[in-house]
Amino acid sequence: MELRRVVVTGLGALTPIGNTVDEYWQGLANGVSGAAPITLFDAEKFKTRFACEVKNFDPTDFINRKEARKMDRFTQLAMVAVEEAMQDSGLDIEAIDSDRAGVIWGSGIGGLGTFQNEVTNFVEGGKIPRFNPFFIPKMIADIAAGYISIKYGFRGPNFVTVSACASGTNAIIDSLNYIRLGHMDIAVTGGSEAAVNESGMGGFSSMKALSERNDSPKTASRPFDKDRDGFVLGEGAGALILEEYEHAKARGANIYAEVIGGGMSADAHHITAPHPEGRGAKAVMRNALRDANIDPTEVDYINVHGTSTPLGDISEVLAIKDVFGGHAYKLNVSSTKSMTGHLLGAAGAVESIAAIKAIQNSLVPPTINHETVDEGLDPKINFTLNKAQQKEVNIALSNTFGFGGHNASLVFKKINE
C-alpha cells in the first residue's frame, strides 16, 4: 500500500535551558549548559548534588491550581509543552475530526515523585494506610496522554510508550506509523519526565551512572571527552504535532519538516550496558534509513544519544562508522545532552526538536564541554565541538537508546512540497 506523508506542524518545549521552543533553541545555538545545584530537594548527602532542572516553572501559571494538584510533575510538564505545540500548530479544534486526532506520548518512568511522596507519607504516618485518592492516577505513565486527550477532546488512538530513554522516540515513531497507515490524521506526540528527586537521583547514582563533578556542574555533561564520568540527570518535556501532509496543506499549516522514517531494534545484550560493538545501534540506524528509503550518504546531521558515559559514547560512534562508512567523516554529529542533560523518556522528543530546528535554521548545535580527546574515539569525525556550526541540513537523524537495550531512531527531512 502507498504510505501517506507525515509532517511536523507544531512544536513545544520545556527544558533545562529554555521554557519555550525559541528559548530552548537559543540555548542550544549558544552552547548553554542547564546543569546547576539541585533546588527541588536537599541533595547535600548525595554523591551527585546537581542536575539539569527546568527553571522558573510554576505549574499554576498554566494549569488551574486544583487540577495541578491532581497531576505529577511529569504530567504538568507535558501539558505545558503540548499547549505551546498546539498554539504553534494553529489547529482549530472545532474544525477538525476529533475521532481522527490522537495522543501518543512517551515517559520512561512516569510519576516517580508521586510514588516516592506517597510511600514516604505512609511510613512517616505510623504505617496507617492513608493514601491520596489521586495516588494511582498521578503515578501511572499513561495518564499524561489521558489528560492531553481530555483537554483537547481528541478521541483517536491514545496511549503512552515506555521504553526507558527511547520512550519519546518510540512515541513519535508510533504516531508516524498510525498516520501514514491511515488510522488518524493528527497526532500529539513527544515525551516528558520528572525524575530529579531523591529516588531518581539515588537510584541512578547507585548504578554509578551519574557524573559526580560537583565542583563544576556546568561542565559535567561532556560527551566524547576523555574525562567524562557519567550523565547528568535532566527533566522536561518536548511536544510535536504530526499531521498527514495533505491535511496540513489543506488548512495552510506551517510545516517544519517531514518525518520520513523510523527504526527500532534491541541490543539483546545487557539490562543497562550497550553492546560494546554497537550492534543494536547499527541495526536501528539501518532500519531507520531503510524505512525512510534513503542512502546513508544523504544524511547531513546526527543528533546522537551521546549521554557522556564511558561505554555508551564509544559504542555509538563505532556504530556510526560502520553504518555510514566514509560518509561518517562528512556529516555532523552532536550531543545536545551536553547542554540539557539526559531527559530520559523525554530525550527523544526534545532532541527531535533540536534536529528539526537544525534543518530549519541550517545550524548544527554543538557538543559542549569538550577539552581532551578520547583516544578511543575517531578524531576525524566532526563532533561539532564547543560551538554551533553553519551547515545546510536537508536530512537529520536522531538516536535514542534505553536501558533494557531499547533503540529507536527517527529521520527528518526538509520539506519538499
Q: What is the pLDDT of residue 417?
A: 64
Mean pLDDT within 362-387: 95
pLDDT at 1 over 80: no
- Decide: pTM greater than 0.95: yes
Q: Is the dihedral of CA 191, 196, 197, 202 positive or negative?
A: positive
pLDDT at 143 over 80: yes
Give tens-digit pLDDT for 251-309.
Answer: 999 999 999 999 999 999 999 999 988 999 999 999 999 999 999 999 999 999 999 99
The set of catalytic residues is: 165, 305, 342
Task: Write the pLDDT tens digit of every residue in 145-176.
Answer: 999 999 999 999 999 999 999 999 999 999 99
Please give the average per-residue pLDDT across 104-113, as a whole number: 98
What pLDDT, on a 0 to 100 scale, did the predictor assign at position 372?
Answer: 95
Q: Which residue matches cell numbers 497526532?
A: 187
Instruction: Tell me what pLDDT residue 416 has.
Output: 78
**Percent of the chain's residues with pLDDT above 70:** 100
Spatial distance between the Cα atoms of 126 and 103, rounded to a whole number of angstroms:
41
pLDDT digits (tens, 9 = 90+) for 19-70: 999 999 999 999 999 999 999 999 999 999 999 999 999 999 999 999 999 9
Instruction: Evaluate if residue 393 carries a pLDDT over 80.
Output: yes
Q: What is the pLDDT of residues 323-370, one digit of tens each?
A: 999 999 999 999 999 999 999 999 999 999 999 999 999 999 999 999
The predicted pLDDT at position 130 comes to 87
State the average pLDDT for the chain.
97
Neighbours of 258 (CB within 10 A): 21
pLDDT computed for residue 375 by the predictor: 87
pLDDT tens readout for residues 66-83:
999 999 999 999 999 999
**Alpha-carbon distance values, 75 to 23, 195, 236, 238, 258 (Å):** 21, 12, 10, 12, 27
Question: pLDDT digit string (tens) for 224-239?
Answer: 999 999 999 999 999 9
- The pLDDT score that the predictor gives to residue 379 is 92
Here the cell at position 158 is 491514545
